[in-house]
Chains A and B, each alone.
Chain A
């Protein structure tokens, strides 16, 4: 049932023309997709060949962190950029804690948040031989962070801002540092030394998972933390 008379009007002339154009474009692209069959397996063979030298068993992680690790390095910076942009715009907003946290919420956070951290750690570890890795683990960590933020735990007041900054920068710095280290050792950026690929990738992934989780939680918080505490009073 619609409120205040908001009814679905018919589309006017321009919108009908646009709809027609979009349908034509979709049909054209659909025909092109249908007539260009799948890709030649150039890259699949190359990855399968070089897999054993990459230090991890999962081909996706090998591509993401080893063969095309440079892309991932830039992509981690993109996440950090989102946080910097958010912090430059506004302050984080939380209502003043008036009522107590309900026992259901408290119980849920107590149970779920630590389990989520464990699951995230396991996902990061699993990334070396099955589906998993830094981004998946980071997403779970971010969800744990969102849960804590939504519950408005009183402990959030006491987090110093510097530790937040360090946590955010930890992953990218670790990644860049590893890349430069490899540059000095082997002469190629992100060219892991023989045999050390596995644990170096794991180290980088752990750092990135922490940073990504913190990034996602802070993006949910929606602004920079206040200087004294992470809370800002209701204006």
Chain B
């Protein structure tokens, strides 16, 4: 059958359909959930690797759903940035799946609250699988309305996951998250209305060719951007993020910080720089950069002020997302590098490092029973691998070589100094210094061993808790060394329009 050939574009549907079926099966059979979920995560990674190979051999491909060509049908498309985001999701997703298994089995082994945690586990897996399907669908989609449906899929599952822990604080945070997410999708839909009124098509490829400078297009872009910015938590629309991410269960925090916010950011970047590049003006880019700069500094300052570990990591997410937006005024600087490169490196490195950090924080919380920063002493002796993972993740967040975070910040610095916009470089450096403060603050506490400390024997459950975190942290560290691979995939698979615009504004 031609479907199974290596060159068939039909492989593109697998990253969406497989987790969907896995989610349905996980909901139906509440006993074999981990086996189903693990199988889905593994096959997802395999298929994404196959798609990468396809991209490198055949170039960007399109797959038409139902065989209907645009403008009638929906298209899926693979190209460099999409595939890198898929890879990020697949690798991080696999690590989080393993971590979640360890997390829940540790919690269930405590007989006092086993029932509650068993119930949490039973509903975690279908929600996580459907969220994975939504994320993959978002990265692959080439149709404006299809993106809306996947955004809703992601939003509802993320809000349900955030509420899973059942604590009053997390319920409140999840409610706010749900409303904000809905408001964002609604504004995005409103933007689609204007887009449809002026152009009459919904396919991104056709919109790219048709892009005019009309009032309708500008309004549509503003509305869609506001909706996506609400979901990406850029300052000052970030108020929902720290409570939601801090109060959730540890694997859920990792999913939310590492993957969910990247989805809407990816769509935003694609709209601004690939679909409607002629509608964007330099003052608008500078405005986004300013908001990003404020996010970096403000988020870092708030992170330093926190007393609880998970809140600190959540504010660190707010700060790191600001770097992604500082790349906006710098993305088109001529340097021979593709438009997406700064953003991809920061996003990839942040996904791995932040999920590793949340996983480490979760393990510490399980071990100690609390996450107050000033009482974290002595963890180094009982959880050495976790502390090591936390440290390496911190290295990437601070932007020290040879981590992926360093490569991203280096690209930002060269772009800003090269185009004589030196103020962005100042913000990046200050942000890194502030990040080092909040990372080292916790590290120093973790390393202190108080007097009279007795070593708690580490239970065997901890293996699944510690090693995925370490693996992700090491990936974020060596992303800098292997920086040529993502760059190769980007260059190979970028659409021609983006390459044309590397040379400056039109």
Contact = CB atoms under 8 A, between A and B. Distances in A.
A183 interface: yes
Given A186-B67, A191-B66, A80 B27 contact: yes
A173 B24 contact: yes
A99 B72 CA distance: 57
B186 interface: no
Given A71-B146, A80-B27, A187-B8, A88 B197 contact: no
B133 interface: yes
A89 interface: yes
B28 A69 contact: no
A119 interface: no
A67 B73 CA distance: 5
Given A46-B71, A184-B1, A81 B153 contact: yes
Given A81-B157, A187-B8, A50 B163 contact: no
A29 B149 contact: no
Contact of A165 (B27, B145, B164): B27
A78 B20 contact: no
Interface in A172-186: 172-173, 176, 179-180, 182-184, 186
Interface stretch (B123-131, B292-300, B386-394, B492-500): B123-131
- SS of A interface (majority): helix
Given A88-B127, A184-B3, A67 B66 contact: yes
Interface stretch (A4-12, A36-44, A129-137, A145-153): A36-44
Contacts of A187: 1-3, 8, 10, 67
A84 B123 contact: yes
Query: Which interface class (under 10, 10 to 19, 20 to 34, 35 or more) fits A?
Result: 35 or more
A66 B66 contact: yes
Nearest to B124: A88
B21 interface: yes
A67 B68 contact: yes
Interface string A61-75: 000001111110111
A32 B146 CA distance: 25
Contact of B196 (A39, A73, A191): A39
Interface residues of B, number: 57
A41 B71 CA distance: 11
B146 A165 contact: no
B65 A190 contact: yes
Interface in A142-173: 165-166, 168-169, 172-173
Given A81-B127, A84-B127, A87-B123, A189 B153 contact: no
Contacts of A43: 71-72, 200-202
Contacts of B10: 183, 187-189
A233 interface: no
Interface in A7-55: 29, 32-33, 35-43, 46-47, 50
A36 B198 contact: yes
Contact of B67 (A32, A165, A180, A188): A188
Interface in A88-111: 88-89
A77 interface: yes
Given A89-B163, A165-B28, A190-B65, A78 B149 contact: yes
A98 B8 CA distance: 63
Q: Which of B71, B120, B164 has the most CB of A within 10 A?
A: B71
Contacts of B68: 50, 66-67
B160 interface: yes
A114 interface: no
A47 B21 CA distance: 30
A39 B123 contact: no
A82 interface: yes
A76 B2 CA distance: 29
Q: Which of A38, A43, A82, A84 has the most CB of B within 10 A?
A: A84
B65 A69 contact: yes
B17 interface: yes
Contacts of B2: 187
B149 A32 contact: no
Interface stretch (B214-222, B306-314, B315-323, B358-366): B214-222
A52 to B, nearest CB: 13
A38 B64 CA distance: 28
A29 B220 CA distance: 10
Given A36-B216, A184-B1, A70 B65 contact: yes
B200 A42 contact: yes
A39 B199 contact: yes
B168 to A, nearest CB: 13
A84 B1 CA distance: 37
B253 interface: no
Given A68-B145, A78-B149, A85-B159, 17 more contacts: A32-B215, A36-B216, A37-B197, A70-B146, A74-B146, A81-B153, A82-B156, A84-B160, A85-B163, A87-B123, A88-B163, A89-B166, A168-B27, A183-B13, A187-B67, A191-B65, A191-B66
- In order of increasing CB-CB distance, the 6 nearest A-B pairs are A85-B160, A88-B123, A39-B200, A188-B67, A36-B216, A191-B67
Interface of A: 29, 32-33, 35-43, 46-47, 50, 66-71, 73-75, 77-78, 80-82, 84-85, 87-89, 165-166, 168-169, 172-173, 176, 179-180, 182-184, 186-192
29 contacts: A32-B194, A36-B197, A39-B200, A40-B200, A41-B200, A43-B200, A43-B202, A47-B72, A71-B145, A71-B146, A75-B149, A77-B23, A77-B153, A78-B153, A80-B130, A81-B156, A87-B123, A88-B120, A89-B163, A168-B27, A172-B20, A176-B24, A179-B17, A187-B3, A187-B8, A187-B10, A189-B63, A191-B67, A192-B66
